[in-house]
Amino acid sequence: ACADILLAFEPLEAVRALNKVRKDGLVVTSIAPIKPFNPTGDDKAYPPVDTLLDYLRSRCGRVLAFDGKKIALEQGNPLGLNMVMLGALYATGEMPMAPAVQRDAIARGTKPAFLDKNLACFDAGLAAAKAAINKAAIETVAAGKAAETTEFTLLFDTHDQKEGMAAMIEKRSPVFTNN
């Protein structure tokens, strides 16, 4: 496993390729399943998406997951998932060049008939991933503050806290007992 980043069109694809990315690497995946053809029509062969995402998170440093297929469809480009995921990759800050450089490369390499929709998908993927990253950061900070508040509150119910406060008021050295 030596890849820094794994970019996947769907979660099961990410799980299948997970052995190729470092444990502290980044997985960027769409959450919309692309189910393999099954002549019996049985969907039971595809694990629940939440289970796949939990598995990825338990084995990789960072996971960015969002519905790339929905974003491509909203841009009027059902085949634009690749551009959405590329835009998302740029939102992570892991690419050595600015998104504008990639947009220029897309413009140079895309047929005029597909250019506007491909660029729309790239931009929408960039925006959606930035929003997901910001939401995760806010939720992580909020969870951290809540845990800190709980732990801090628990400190005020200890013998050592009372001893420390008394020692400060009495201008003496505290005698802590780790209780």
**Percent of the chain predicted with pLDDT > 90:** 59
Q: What is the pLDDT, as a whole number, of residue 178?
A: 74
Is 162 or 138 the better-scoring residue by pLDDT? 162
pTM for the model stands at 0.75
Contacts of 43 (CB under 8 A, 6+ apart): 35
Instruction: Quote the CA–CA distance of 90 and 7 in Å, as a whole number.
Output: 11
Contacts of 101 (CB under 8 A, 6+ apart): none
Contacts of 61 (CB under 8 A, 6+ apart): 22, 23, 24, 25, 26
Residues 34 and 91: beta-carbon distance below 8 Å: no
Q: List b or e across 29-46, with b for residues whose CB sees 16 or more CB atoms inside 10 angstroms.
A: bbbbbeeeeeeeeeeeeb
Mean pLDDT of 142-158: 65
Mean pLDDT of 102-116: 96
Q: What is the pLDDT, as a whole number, of residue 71?
A: 95
Is 161 or 60 the better-scoring residue by pLDDT? 60
